[in-house]
Amino acid sequence: MQTTLEKTLAAELNSLRETGQYKQANVLQAPQGPRTRMDGRDVICLSSNNYLGLANHPKVVAAGQDGTRKFGLGTASVRFICGTMTCHLELERKICEFLGCEASTTFISCWDANVGVIPTLASTAEDAIFSDALNHASIIDAIRLSKAQRFIYKHRDLNELESMLKSANARNRVIITDGVFSMEGDVGDLPQLKDLANRYDAALIVDESHATGVLGAHGRGTAEHFGVLGENTIQISTLGKALGGACGGYVAGSRIVCDYLVQRARPQLFSNALPPSVCYGSIAAIDILMTEGATLLEKLRANVRHFRAGIATLGLKTIEGITPIVPVIVGETATAIAMQKALLEKGVFVSGFGFPVVPRGEARLRCQISAAHSRDDLDQALAALGAVAERFPEARGAHH
Ligand SMILES: Cc1ncc(COP(=O)(O)O)c(C=O)c1O
């Protein structure tokens, strides 16, 4: 017999199926890479966060195996009880060396880092959090866990942010922004945000998940790109994208902030620490970025320029920018889904996103470029996009 809960859930699932919103996992039959296998066929992957191609890099894989051999599969404990191993300290020292910051601390994911940091640094109704409307879901949920006053400003609208900062009556003030926004591929204006933070005595937190290993001369993210690295900015990022693609998140900044988080951040206090394989694999990924980063970043940027120019030549609608997240705006959710399917048939995997992930009428194919893509991969993908767009003329009429 079904419980009322199961009946309610079944009805909701049915409605997701009827409205075309029911998600089906796209299962990989091979490691993550510029080309992989799906549905028994080789595909060019334009849909992963493997920006530097390190997810299956031999040095990263070997380091992960070494971690398991030396420390076993996992910690069987949270950090502060007996889950801190030397590999965690090595990883945190490596992050500090990479970013040139005083201290860092790790979490099992960047989701957990956000949920650990935001409600911990701004916890009471006397505090205030200021957040960009298009910040990542983990930031939105983290804010919901805090009792602080909330001010959500329109995407990149710093005039609105300033009037909110002026009007707020609060003790601890925290401004939080994505460095690179995950659905738009645009960049937060850190110099202006930093200026506002300084003028209104707020801490600036930047989620660099899509910027680490992507922006800045050494791949240190948006803060390096704008030259505001280390100036009291708290950086949060993931080890699950450019830095090896496994999992894990970190906070990097001042010793005071990190010390406090280790004492108080609940996801670190009450959840297991990172597996040793991930610690060592991520250290290897950071080492590659620190030694071979110039070549990798050059390749990534040349690929991004090439792909963005190709999209412009095809006359497809996008959001101009410099990042490897290149949205192709096609309008309706059904169009995005149908185009995703048609592209897969041509051996190109790219994800379609529609409402409610992005605003209604702005459904898109989110293309993500990697340093590991060859020119051939990108040209084949562009040719497939052009051919598929011919069959969906409505995609060209989409507005943004
Ligand atoms: C901006 C941003 N923050 C946080 C996360 C969560 O990262 P993780 O997979 O490490 O939990 C993501 C992942 O999509 C992200 O894009």
pLDDT at 11 over 90: yes
210 shares its domain with 305 = no
How many other β-carbons are positioned within 10 Å of the β-carbon of residue 25?
Answer: 5
8 within a domain of the structure (yes/no): no
Question: According to the model, what pLDDT value does residue 245 have?
Answer: 98
261 shares its domain with 359 = no
Whether 225 sits among the annotated catalytic residues: the reply is no
Residue 114 belongs to domain spanning: 75-274
Q: Which H or E run includes 148?
A: none
Question: According to the model, what pLDDT value does residue 400 have?
Answer: 52
Cα separation, 258 vs 266, whole angstroms: 13
Tell me which amino acid residue 61 is.
V
345 within a domain of the structure (yes/no): yes
Phi, psi of 393 (to 5 degrees): -60, -25
Do residues 396 and 315 touch, judged by C-beta distance below 8 A? yes
Do residues 128 and 148 touch, judged by C-beta distance below 8 A? yes
Question: According to the model, what pLDDT value does residue 339 have?
Answer: 96
Q: Which H or E run includes 100?
A: none
The sign of the dihedral angle between the CA atoms of 304, 310, 313, 319 is negative
Residue indicated by tokens 């496994």:
246
172 within a domain of the structure (yes/no): yes
208-262 pLDDT per residue, tens: 999 999 999 999 999 999 998 877 799 999 999 999 999 999 999 999 999 999 9
How many other β-carbons are positioned within 10 Å of the β-carbon of residue 21?
Answer: 14
7 within a domain of the structure (yes/no): no
Helices (H), the chain: 4-18, 58-71, 86-99, 110-121, 137-144, 158-167, 190-199, 222-225, 255-264, 266-269, 276-313, 333-345, 375-391
pLDDT at 398 over 80: no
32 within a domain of the structure (yes/no): yes
270-325 pLDDT per residue, tens: 999 999 999 999 999 999 999 999 999 999 999 999 999 999 999 999 999 999 99
What separation, in Å, do the N-terminal and C-terminal C-alpha atoms of the chain show? 48
85 shares its domain with 232 = yes
Residue indicated by tokens 């950071």:
286
Q: Relative to the CA of 248, which ligand 1 atom is closest?
A: 10
Cα separation, 80 vs 339, whole angstroms: 49
pLDDT at 399 over 70: no
Length of the chain: 400
114-146 pLDDT per residue, tens: 999 999 999 999 999 999 999 999 999 999 999
DSSP assignment, residue 157?
-
> pLDDT over 70 for what percent of the chain?
99
Whether 182 sits among the annotated catalytic residues: the reply is yes
> pLDDT over 90 for what percent of the chain?
92
Q: Which residues have any ligand 1 atom within 6 Å of their CB?
A: 109-111, 136, 138, 178, 182, 207, 209-210, 238, 240, 247, 249
Whether 59 sits among the annotated catalytic residues: the reply is no
CATH number of the domain to which 258 belongs: 3.40.640.10
319 shares its domain with 178 = no
The sign of the dihedral angle between the CA atoms of 131, 135, 136, 141 is positive
- Bridging pattern class, strands 41-45 and 348-349: parallel
44 within a domain of the structure (yes/no): yes
**What is the rounded average pLDDT for all residues in the chain?**
96
Do residues 183 and 327 touch, judged by C-beta distance below 8 A? yes
Question: According to the model, what pLDDT value does residue 273 have?
Answer: 98
Do residues 137 and 181 touch, judged by C-beta distance below 8 A? no
Q: Relative to the CA of 240, which ligand 1 atom is closest?
A: 10
Of 106, 138, 234, the residue with max ligand 1 atoms within 8 A of its CB, to mutate for a pocket test, comes to 138
- CA–centroid distance, 35 to ligand 1, in Å, is 23
280 within a domain of the structure (yes/no): no
pLDDT at 21 over 70: yes
332-382 pLDDT per residue, tens: 988 999 999 999 999 999 999 988 888 889 999 999 999 999 999 999 999
pLDDT at 196 over 90: yes
111 shares its domain with 205 = yes
The active-site residue out of 241, 351, 370, 373 is 241
How many other β-carbons are positioned within 10 Å of the β-carbon of residue 102?
Answer: 14
pLDDT grade for 165, boundaries at 50, 70 and 90: very high
Q: Is 168 exposed, middle or buried (0-12, 13-18, 19+ CB in 10 A)?
A: middle
148 within a domain of the structure (yes/no): yes
